[in-house]
Amino acid sequence: MSQLTIAVHGGAGTILKENMTPGLQQRYEQALQQALDTGYDILAAGGSSLDAVTAATVVLEDFPLFNAGKGSVFNHTGGHEMDAAVMEGSGLRAGACSGISGVRNPVLLAKGIMERSEHVMLTGRGAEQFARQLGLSFESEAYFYEETRYRQWQEALEEGKVVLDHNDKKFGTVGAVALDAAGNLAAATSTGGMTNKKYGRVGDSPIIGAGTFADNRTCAVSCTGHGELFIRAVVAHDISCLMEYKGLSLQEACDVVVYDKLVKIGGEGGLIAADAQGNVALPFNSAGMYRGYRNSRGGNEVKIYKD
């Protein structure tokens, strides 16, 4: 039986302890732990890594302080456009959605696209129509309203800027990676994108190989960062390639991409990754990253700031 492993993230960026109250930090840490426990319980019961990462991501989407699902930021017109993706490493199957509104849990739509359509990515109204066919839950605009997010949007409108997220500069994507007892890897990522984004902008999260990737031969990866740079660097797939073609370890491959390749093009952020041996890597080149992991060796850790 393979080593059971799950890791989650809730975004990276300028996350500083001096800007965090003890109560708020506790809320973040509890949400990360809840996501880990939810996913791990599925793995421990013999469930698949795909189901584990999906369930963990649902927990994070339902937590209003993360920029995904309920906590998604406002776009330029005052609405919410969400993106998500899932991928499983056994057969390289993947599903993704982008530019969707009203769907309570975009990651469930991404999983449904993978499992119940012949496509990989659906967008906008077509994706929402498919979500209704799947019987997924929809919510009103009031469900996605969050006062802090609204104020951020108003400030961005006044300044005429597209803002990465909040807390000065934060990439508020959420995601999970896991290895199950059968040795299968999976990854999931979900995001609300950038505050005040225009023109149907899409970041790296739903793009397979950029923000999300899984291959049993190498690793599973979920990214959080400045999406345009992560797309250009094809971050998630590049880590897999460094392992497959150069024989690098998971940590070595992650270090090359996050601390060298991304930095050279001005890419800020981080990622979580797991390999077929149950190793995890949680590198980031920003001030902090909401992150954690749990495994069947007794490892369990949740962190926000740099060590």
Active-site positions read 173
**Degrees to nearest 5, angle at CA 207 with 205 and 213:** 85
164: which 2 tokens? 């990465």
Q: Where are the beta strands (DSSP E) in the chain?
A: 5-13, 82-88, 94-100, 121-123, 170-171, 174-179, 185-191, 212-214, 219-225, 269-275, 280-281, 288-295, 300-305
For the chain, how many residues are written? 307
C-alpha to C-alpha distance for 122 and 16, rounded to whole angstroms: 36
- Between 22-44 and 49-61, two packed helices, what is the crossing angle to 10 degrees? 160
Q: How far apart are the C-alpha atoms of 258 and 207, rounded to whole Å?
A: 18
* Rounded distance between C-alpha atoms, residue 218 and residue 67, angstroms: 29
* Contact residues for 142 (Cβ-Cβ < 8 A; gap 6+): none
Cα 17 to Cα 10: distance, rounded to the nearest angstrom: 16
SS3 assignment, position 237? helix
